[in-house]
């Protein structure tokens, strides 16, 4: 028995000595201050996001009762067909044809395409809560988009079109004395319904909010609006940094093209933050539609414009990069796949994401066709069982299980038509 006790004591002693040696090695090679420092850096370092500016304003038959203004501009008739294409207010034609922004299958297609391209989410063009013009339907479409973004594990932020306020004044729905009160009410609604969501974009813990243009609220009015918020926001104005803004975001300037990027970078050099912009081209349809004169033109230049602007935006190392736009067909700034350019611009994003953000980003060029296959099956499928299978394929795509998604898409069998 004494021998067993002595052996046990020796074993315990050896284990203690071995543990002490391990602790000493850990302290030498991984000092506590260094470990803590790396943890703090990880916690405070913002994740870089690539976000696409998204327009929720398209309406088509039969999803909606009428063809919306953004497809017609009161000058084009989408019921007219020419060489397999509808007549629409755009120089380019969507790969999937004209669509309705309230079509859940189209929203799913767009977001899955973005995810496979290396885009983290959207900045949605939002016109507020008031029922004027098409503002009500835009709000409804935005809510549906947010639901899809959240379901797919993506991100979103709001770009507030405060030009709605002068429009409300002109219509008699708002008085000059109530401009700030109205804006505060809309910001409070966003704070209650969107800013708290996990999918909402934050910077330094604050929800990111953009405002488009300089013709809505004045600089003083924006200061008044933001001062009254219970939840502080990371506010960005367009081009120029307002007094109450954390910074500003850039936007294509047709008269200057790529030169405007250098000017913005120089202007924003001393700001705390800025949001650089990437764009493929600017070719609007306004003159042809007799809406007003064209704003000007930025040539596509065989993809060089997008490649250059995207690379320059990523080189700034800004925490947020905005692409203008995903789907402004009226101004031709689209990177959404078209009959003209296909997936070309999305391939560029894949490549640059690997170069500048995530070298392990695994989606390939061949994967970009998966959302289109899913959309086509959605449009043909009718039964609840088929819908469940397609929902499962959506989950496979959104979670990066792309080989499994490819197999399931090939296995999917639609009922034969007579």
The answer to whether 321 and 278 have CB atoms below 8 angstroms apart is yes
Is residue 71 scored above 50 in pLDDT? yes
* 235 phi, psi to nearest 5 deg: -95, 135
Q: What is the pLDDT of residues 171-183, one digit of tens each?
A: 999 999 999 999 9
Question: Any idea which of 42-56, 317-331, 362-376 has the lowest mean pLDDT?
Answer: 42-56
* Higher pLDDT among residues 416 and 65, named by residue: 65
pLDDT of the residue at 45: 39
Is residue 35 scored above 50 in pLDDT? no
Mean pLDDT of 388-393: 97
Hey, CA dihedral for 9, 10, 11, 14, is it positive or negative?
positive
Is residue 418 scored above 80 in pLDDT? no
CA distances from 190 to 6, 12, 183, 243, 413 (A): 72, 62, 11, 22, 43
Percent of the chain with pLDDT over 90: 85
Residue 170: which residues within 8 A CB-CB, separation 6 or more?
none
- Indicate the pLDDT class of residue 279, thresholds 50, 70 and 90: very high
* Higher pLDDT among residues 202 and 18, named by residue: 202
- Indicate the pLDDT class of residue 414, thresholds 50, 70 and 90: low
Q: What is the pLDDT of residues 149-164, one digit of tens each?
A: 999 999 999 999 999 9
What the block records as the tokens of 156 is 């979103």
pTM for the whole structure:
0.88
pLDDT of the residue at 382: 85
- Indicate the pLDDT class of residue 43, thresholds 50, 70 and 90: very low
DSSP annotation string for 78-92 = TT-EETTEE--SSSS
What is the average pLDDT score of the chain? Answer: 90
Is residue 2 scored above 70 in pLDDT? no
- Indicate the pLDDT class of residue 417, thresholds 50, 70 and 90: low
What the block records as the tokens of 7 is 């052996």
Question: Any idea which of 10-14, 90-94, 231-235 has the lowest mean pLDDT?
Answer: 10-14
- Indicate the pLDDT class of residue 229, thresholds 50, 70 and 90: confident
pLDDT of the residue at 228: 75
* Higher pLDDT among residues 18 and 85, named by residue: 85
Domain annotation for the chain: domains and CATH numbers: 44-362 (3.20.20.80)
Cite the beta strand spans of 212-266 per DSSP E. 234-238, 247-249
pLDDT of the residue at 204: 94
Is residue 200 scored above 90 in pLDDT? yes
* 283 phi, psi to nearest 5 deg: -135, 90
- Indicate the pLDDT class of residue 41, thresholds 50, 70 and 90: very low
* Higher pLDDT among residues 23 and 258, named by residue: 258
Is residue 36 scored above 90 in pLDDT? no
DSSP designation for 166: H
pLDDT of the residue at 32: 39
């Amino acid at each position: 028995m004494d021998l067993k006790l002595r052996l046990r004591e020796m074993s315990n002693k050896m284990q203690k000595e071995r543990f002490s040696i391990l602790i000493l090695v850990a302290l030498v090679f991984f000092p506590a201050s260094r470990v803590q420092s790396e943890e703090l850096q990880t916690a405070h370092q913002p994740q870089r996001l690539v976000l696409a500016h998204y327009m929720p304003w398209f309406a088509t038959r039969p999803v909606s009762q009428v063809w919306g203004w953004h497809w017609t501009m009161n000058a084009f008739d989408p019921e007219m067909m020419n060489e397999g294409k509808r007549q629409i207010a755009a120089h380019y034609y969507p790969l999937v044809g004209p669509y309705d922004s309230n079509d859940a299958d189209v929203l799913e297609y767009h977001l899955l395409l973005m995810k496979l391209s290396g885009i983290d989410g959207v900045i949605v063009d939002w016109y507020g809560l008031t029922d004027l013009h098409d503002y009500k339907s835009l709000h409804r479409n935005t809510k549906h988009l947010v639901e899809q973004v959240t379901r797919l594990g993506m991100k979103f932020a709001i770009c507030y079109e405060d030009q709605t306020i002068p429009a409300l004044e002109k219509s008699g729905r708002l008085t000059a004395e109530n401009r700030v009160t109205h804006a505060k009410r809309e910001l409070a609604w966003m704070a209650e319904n969107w800013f708290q969501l996990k999918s909402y974009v934050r910077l330094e813990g604050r929800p990111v909010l953009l405002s488009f243009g300089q013709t809505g609220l004045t600089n003083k009015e924006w200061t008044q609006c933001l001062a009254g918020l219970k939840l502080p926001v990371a506010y960005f104005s367009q081009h120029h940094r307002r007094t109450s803004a954390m910074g500003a975001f850039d936007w294509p300037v047709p008269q200057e093209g790529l030169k405007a990027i250098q000017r913005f970078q120089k202007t924003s050099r001393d700001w705390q933050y800025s949001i650089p912009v990437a764009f493929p081209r600017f070719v609007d349809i306004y003159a042809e539609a007799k809406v007003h004169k064209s704003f000007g033109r930025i040539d596509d230049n065989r993809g060089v414009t997008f490649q250059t602007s995207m690379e320059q935006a990523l080189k700034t190392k800004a925490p947020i990069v905005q692409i203008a736009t995903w789907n402004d067909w009226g101004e031709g700034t689209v990177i959404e796949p078209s009959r003209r350019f296909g997936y070309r611009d999305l391939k560029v994003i894949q490549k640059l994401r690997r170069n500048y953000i995530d070298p392990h980003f695994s989606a390939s060029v061949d994967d970009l066709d998966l959302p289109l296959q899913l959309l086509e099956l959605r449009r043909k499928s009718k039964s609840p069982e088929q819908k469940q299978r397609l929902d499962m394929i959506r989950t496979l795509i959104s979670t990066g299980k792309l080989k499994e998604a490819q197999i399931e898409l090939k296995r999917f069998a639609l009922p034969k038509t007579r």
